[in-house]
Amino acid sequence: MKNWCCICIVLNFLIAQNISGQSRKADTLFLKKDTHYGSQQSVFIEKNKNSVFYNYILDFEFDEFDKQHFQWSLDYLMKNKISLTKQKNILPSNKWIQIKFLNNDFYAYHPCDFFTFFQSSVTDSTYLEITGEGPVANKILSQRKINQSTFELKTTGMYQQNRTIKIYLLNQDKGIAVFEKHLNDGSQFRYLMAESNKIKKLPFIVNRCDNYKQEEFEFEEPDFDLLIKNTTQ
């Protein structure tokens, strides 16, 4: 898990510098301003492509906690005699970041609480899922390209065994995709992802809370069926 206490200190310093120097443009679009527990919360659209806030959503590095949790998932595979085999990644990118939907548009999002943040990464032998609880390595059992915009991975791992993940590429230029996860119990989960190296092509909403965890900004649920239908026509 990232050292968010240190990050908050850095953010507070940078934000104070911005405010005191009046470097933030007057036309910044604030979506929410509120104060709880004596701490200011601001939700705004960040137009600066060099903003420090990008550093945190684009960070795929492991700290000590992450390394430990990652090793637990590898130990599970070894204990259950699930050997890793190298194979070429067929997806258009090997690093993905969860994105949001609002008013018929897609947004990168910097959350107030990074425990809710989700990334995924594909190595030459594993499919990594990275949450606030730490990264988990899943063995890639198989992968195939169904068509130019649809891909399929079959994986198994510590928390979810023998599942299928379908990836529907909605916008190749911006790297936007629907990830559709099918579990053994018949349940299905869908969420929006974007290629990390194209994330700055999307509008960026920042939820800045200085000292306390506060509410996340409320986004909309897209019509996943319609999005997927448009990719498969």
> Rounded to whole angstroms, how far apart are CA atoms 68 and 217?
31
The model's pTM: 0.84
Per domain, the residue ranges of the chain are 4-54+98-115+141-232
Q: What letters, b where the CB count within 10 A reaches 16 and e where it falls short, cover 125-143?
A: ebbbbbbeebbbbbbbeeb
> Rounded to whole angstroms, how far apart are CA atoms 127 and 193?
15
Which of 121, 134, 105 lies closest to 201, judged by CA?
A: 105
In the predicted model, what is the mean pLDDT of the chain?
86
Quick: pLDDT tens for 59-113. Answer: 999 999 999 999 999 999 999 999 999 989 999 999 999 999 999 999 999 999 9
Residues 6+ apart with CB under 8 A from 200: 49, 54, 108
Q: What pLDDT is recorded for position 67? A: 96
> Rounded to whole angstroms, how far apart are CA atoms 203 and 224?
20
Q: What pLDDT is recorded for position 23? A: 35
Query: Above 70 in pLDDT, residue 210?
Result: yes
Helix (H), strand (E) at residue 5: helix 4-21
The three state secondary structure string of 81-97 is: CCCCCCCCCCCCCCEEE
Starting at the edge strand found earlier in the chain, the sheet holding 105-110 runs 30-36, 39-46, 204-209, 105-110, 100-102
Per-residue pLDDT, averaged over 11-29, amounts to 44
